[in-house]
Amino acid sequence: SNESVLDLDYKSSESRNIPHWHNPENESIPIIEGSGATVTDANGDSFLDFVASLYCVNAGHDNKRIIEAITKQLERIPYVSSGKENDARAELASELAAVAPEPLTDVLFSVSGSEANELAIQFARESQDAPKVLTRWQSYHGSTYGAATLTGDPSTRNTVEAHAATTGSGKFLPPLPEVFDAEGSELAEKAANHLEFVVKNEGPDSIAAIMMEPVAGSSGGYPTPSGYFERVREICDKYNILLIADEVITGFGRCGKMFAMQTESVDPDMITFAKGVTGSYIPLGGVLMREELGDRIRDGGTLTGQTFAGHPVACAAGIAAIQEYQNELIENVQSLAPVLQDELTALKEKHDVITDVRGRGFLWGIVVKDPESSEPFANSWVDADSENPVADVAEEAKKNGLLVGVGRPDYQLLISPPLCIEEADIANA
């Protein structure tokens, strides 16, 4: 019954210790202040925010330039209808086109990352006249109806996807060593061959797009092996399928370039973004796309638009944030990413329970195994009653003043510091 599905959702949330504000048992102390990479709670205890809150506070917690840009926009005019031209909105759109991979020139704003992916699904289906969007297992693409069906983790299947059968998404396996029992170029080859097999069996004509995160975020902080994206691009071109990069987490410097696809040698047809675009000071998301896709949408595509899509105050924040990334923050990622990688790799050498440390730039996953069975821990997201030792480690880290993320499946710790973090903080973490 519906009741049991909702019940499962509630229980699984509880098992992950998500402190929903409406949960009467929520006893966590609220965070009330922040500065740089540090946050402070109502008791006056400070924490190093080693996860940029939700992989999103890229420019730190008190960036004066972003705050000033927001204040100025508020004083000039807070809101202009999303159908009308606004200078901040227009300027951010051109800024985005200037910093994105070259072929992506058109931008349409949303409010969040989930809604950016909803738009991408709609544009892809309309322009390709095909229903399906293929995504990877072990992926996260959002929590609204369509975006949640793209998300490849078992809990969304148990809840949302079961109710949204018409969305038409299929899944393929992530290019992970433990999945294909291979590494490097052999892994890239095997994972791409598998994807082509899925495409052929789903029916290429029924597939509008393949969407993936260039480096997976909340589903595990895993990058792709070198050569993988080239093969994916080839498959997309061969079968006339659009390639959509979900850069909601990886965009805006997190992986060492403005967009993570700029660390690959091929371009996608669309990029969806949110989170870091404003440094998370104000909600904003959107889709960057090739001009011909924009044209197809302008020439008779379904009209889309949300009241707060491309809100001028958010756009003003976005312009300032992009400047901050360009001025110094991306450089900081480039120079400190090797330090972060060394520190995490040293952890792996010290602790037998860690089976892998993987990522790129400032986005890393620490994968652990069950010390008794030597297998990855059971997916406690699905089984509300199972142990969740990784969440316990995160809790323990918090007691020691360090905030880290817990991935899905729950056998991974996630590290994604604000881009302004200093070397000493990484060493002390």
Q: Which of the ranges 67-75, 113-121, 347-355, 420-428 carries the binding residues for ligand PLP, by CB under 6 A?
A: 113-121
If binding is defined by CB under 6 A, does position 213 make contact with ligand PLP? yes
Contacts of residue 182, Cβ cutoff 8 Å, sequence gap at least 6? 189, 190
If binding is defined by CB under 6 A, does position 218 make contact with ligand PLP? yes
Tokens of 39: 């946050």
If binding is defined by CB under 6 A, does position 50 make contact with ligand PLP? no
CB of 422 to ligand PLP, least distance (A): 25
If binding is defined by CB under 6 A, does position 141 make contact with ligand PLP? yes
Nearer to ligand PLP, 144 or 386 (CB): 144
Q: Which of the ranges 64-72, 178-186, 242-250, 367-375 carries the binding residues for ligand PLP, by CB under 6 A?
A: 242-250
Contacts of residue 318, Cβ cutoff 8 Å, sequence gap at least 6? 92, 95, 96, 277, 278, 284
CB of 316 to ligand PLP, least distance (A): 19
If binding is defined by CB under 6 A, does position 274 make contact with ligand PLP? yes
Q: Which of the ranges 10-18, 180-188, 204-212, 241-249 carries the binding residues for ligand PLP, by CB under 6 A?
A: 241-249
Nearer to ligand PLP, 333 or 425 (CB): 333
d(CA 241, CA 222): 24
If binding is defined by CB under 6 A, does position 112 make contact with ligand PLP? yes
Q: Which of the ranges 73-81, 246-254, 257-265, 307-315 carries the binding residues for ligand PLP, by CB under 6 A?
A: 246-254
Q: Which of 128, 293, 127, 296 is nearest to 203 (CA)?
A: 128
If binding is defined by CB under 6 A, does position 142 make contact with ligand PLP? yes
CB of 350 to ligand PLP, least distance (A): 29
Nearer to ligand PLP, 38 or 250 (CB): 250
For residue 111, the SS3 value is: coil
CB 361 within 8 A of CB 217: no
CB of 141 to ligand PLP, least distance (A): 5
For residue 313, the SS3 value is: helix
Query: Binding-site residue total for ligand PLP (CB under 6 A)?
Result: 15
Contacts of residue 305, Cβ cutoff 8 Å, sequence gap at least 6? 82, 83
By CB under 6 A, name the one of 50, 109, 140, 172 that touches ligand PLP.
Answer: 140
CB 207 within 8 A of CB 239: yes
β-sheet bridge partners, residue 319: none
**Burial (CB count within 10 angstroms: exposed 0-12, middle 13-18, buried 19+), residue 298:** exposed
- Helix (H) or strand (E) segment spanning residue 231: helix 228-238
- Helix (H) or strand (E) segment spanning residue 368: strand 363-368
By CB under 6 A, name the one of 113, 227, 310, 359 that touches ligand PLP.
Answer: 113
d(CA 359, CA 375): 21
Binding site for ligand PLP (CB under 6 A): 112-114, 117, 140-142, 213, 217-218, 246, 248-249, 274, 285
